[in-house]
Amino acid sequence: MSVLFDRIALIGIGLIGSSLAHDIRRLGLTKEIVVATRSADTLKRAEELGLGDRYTTSSAEAVKHADLIIVSVPVGASESVAKEIAGNLQPGAIVTDVGSTKASVIAQMQPHMPENVHFIPGHPLAGTEKSGPDAGFPGLFEGRWCIFTPVAETDETALKRLRGFWEALGSKVDEMDAEHHDKVLAIVSHLPHIIAYNIVGTADDLETVTESEVIKYSASGFRDFTRLAASDPTMWRDVCLHNRDAILEMLARFSEDLAYLQRAIRWGEGDKIFELFTRTRAIRRSIVQAGQDVDAPDFGRPHPLDKK
Ligand SMILES: NC(=O)C1=CN([C@@H]2O[C@H](COP(=O)(O)OP(=O)(O)OC[C@H]3O[C@@H](n4cnc5c(N)ncnc54)[C@H](O)[C@@H]3O)[C@@H](O)[C@H]2O)C=CC1
Ligand SMILES: O=C(O)C(=O)Cc1ccc(O)cc1
């Protein structure tokens, strides 16, 4: 694979930043990786893992002379990072991010971006419930979508360059506007996590069922929820706060549909229940048919509880 950028600055070196570092190195996509993160302990760990060539706790320092900057921090930290790096960006540099919400990230970052850099918001649809620099692994983005949500004035050449980068990691790239992205992700990613946090919380609050019973008798369905509910609290708090409108809209629909199901169960309306369960079963089949690898490592991986 060839060098696509001379110097890549990775701001934030958790699950996503470190997975990027592994792949950039493995595929030889740059001459130099600069790693920046806020906490000295995380930076030290990144260095122990050999994730970069240079390390700093200053994002402003890291972006100097970098032609690609990838911001991989919780979405709520986007504005402070944008402010920090703005003054040191080199003309022509591409600044992108990986945040799970897009309209808010654009609102936080774009006003601080100088006119002579290319700001291209992005979101790889790949990850796990783990966080931190030890959680990353090579190949995370292979076969996964990466969605760009370009802003009106985005330069086509820069967009093509960034597309080439994600394709080199094995990703498929799509483009859509930020508001649409936020609605789609609210239903396919944000709600499932919120529901998982909630159901595990409900089980934890039960007075008549003990915690040891929840652990002892948890069936695989509940275990799947515990995997999602073990995801990083800071990251997911920020997703909830920064995709508020779309999440509330989807939650309202979800509650209505749940009330319908609740009513059907109360009144013993088996045909309604059966019709819904048949319709939803077909969705899983279409995911498999569409070539989404449901057996991939981060797609419903066996939960650590299964290991015994
Ligand atoms: N975890 C996942 O499965 C996925 C996460 N994302 C998005 O990627 C971003 C990063 O997520 P993860 O890597 O999973 O999180 P993580 O918690 O593993 O890592 C976050 C990193 O950001 C650093 N950080 C926090 N505030 C900072 C600041 N102000 N300046 C510099 N560094 C700072 C932390 O020290 C840490 O290194 C988030 O915006 C998340 O929404 C996108 C796709 C999948
Ligand atoms: O672990 C899982 O099942 C995920 O869904 C990972 C994930 C989390 C957040 C994203 O924005 C994209 C992917």
Report the pLDDT value the prediction gives residue 124, as an integer from 0 to 100. 98
Shortest CA distance to 30 belongs to which of 16, 42, 20?
A: 20
3 state SS of 177: coil
Query: Which ligand is nearest the CA of 73, by number?
Result: 1
Residues 20 and 144 in one domain: yes
Residues 22 and 109 in one domain: yes
The string of pLDDT tens digits covering residues 220-236 is: 889 999 999 999 999 99
Residues 170 and 29 in one domain: yes
Residues 213 and 280 in one domain: yes
Residues 165 and 223 in one domain: no
- Residue 270, classified by CB atoms within 10 Å of its CB into exposed (0-12), middle (13-18) or buried (19+), is exposed
Q: Which two tokens stand for residue 7?
A: 């110097």
CA distances from 58 to 24, 89, 110 (A): 21, 13, 20
184 CB within 6 A, ligand 2: no
Ligand 2: residue whose CA is nearest its atom 8: 127
105 CB within 6 A, ligand 1: no
Residues 166 and 215 in one domain: no
Residue found under tokens 């048949």:
278
Q: Which atom of ligand 2 is nearest the CA belonging to 124?
A: 12
The string of pLDDT tens digits covering residues 43-97 is: 999 999 999 999 999 999 999 999 999 999 999 999 999 999 999 999 999 999 9
Q: How far is the CA of 116 from the centre of ligand 1 (A)?
A: 26
The string of pLDDT tens digits covering residues 171-212 is: 999 999 999 999 999 999 999 999 999 999 999 888 888 888
Ligand 1: residue whose CA is nearest its atom 25: 73
Range of the domain at 239: 180-307
Q: Which atom of ligand 2 is nearest the CA belonging to 126?
A: 13
Residues 55 and 140 in one domain: yes
Shortest CA distance to 101 belongs to which of 85, 68, 123?
A: 123
Model ipTM over 0.95: yes
Report the pLDDT value the prediction gives residue 153, as an integer from 0 to 100. 86
Residues 145 and 230 in one domain: no
Residue found under tokens 């969705």:
283
Confidence class for position 292, pLDDT limits 50, 70, 90: low
Pocket test residue of 125, 141, 195 for ligand 2, highest count of atoms within 8 A of CB:
125
- Which residue stretches of 110-243 are H helix? 156-168, 178-185, 191-205, 211-217, 220-229, 233-242
3 state SS of 32: strand
Full-model pTM: 0.94
232 CB within 6 A, ligand 1: yes
127 CB within 6 A, ligand 1: yes
Rounded CA gap, 149 and 33, in Å? 25
Report the pLDDT value the prediction gives residue 308, as an integer from 0 to 100. 34
Q: How far is the CA of 118 from the centre of ligand 1 (A)?
A: 21
CA distances from 102 to 105, 197, 220, 266 (A): 5, 22, 33, 40
The string of pLDDT tens digits covering residues 26-36 is: 999 999 999 99
127 CB within 6 A, ligand 2: yes
Query: Which ligand is nearest the CA of 129, by number?
Result: 2
- Residue 250, classified by CB atoms within 10 Å of its CB into exposed (0-12), middle (13-18) or buried (19+), is buried
Give the domain-ending residue among 116, 147, 176.
Answer: 176
